[in-house]
Amino acid sequence: METLYPIPNRSTFRINPAVFAGRERYGPFTQLERAYRIVASNDWTVFLNTDPFLATARLTAVGRRWLVPVIRQDFKDELPVSMMDWVPLYRHAYERSLDHFRQYYDRLPQPHHCHRPLRFEGAREIRPEA
């Protein structure tokens, strides 16, 4: 059975797939890593239905499936109802997801043809003095 992954409902929200490339080199993702990838790849509106008038937020089905396991890594209390209480929870889940993949990003092989680093300031290139 193939799992359908959510697609961001705003076309402006995109994350570069290269963020996940380092981890993909080590084999298939675990269930938690799939949740991390989905949380990192989607806008919060995929996971939460909000009511601005009442200042409340409810989890969508996608949120219960993918966001809750990431939140439960650090947060064991009852999930909030207030929109404002969801802000730090979602932000932490998003950062936790990206941090997981960043640790593999550092392990990607670096090109060997660069002998000295380049620094950029604005539009002009500055090479270090020899």
Q: Where are the domains of the chain?
A: 31-109
Q: Give the separation between CA 121 and CA 104, rounded to whole angstroms.
A: 28
Distances (CA, A) of 29 to 1, 15, 16, 21, 35: 16, 18, 17, 11, 9
Tell me the per-residue pLDDT of 31-74, one tens digit each, with 9 for 90 and over: 999 999 999 998 888 999 999 899 999 999 999 999 999 999 99
- Could you tell me which residue, 75 or 117, shows the higher pLDDT? 75
Which residue intervals of the chain are DSSP H helices? 18-24, 31-41, 61-62, 68-71, 83-105
pTM: 0.71
The DSSP string of 61-85 is HHIIIIIHHHHTTT--SPPP-BHHH
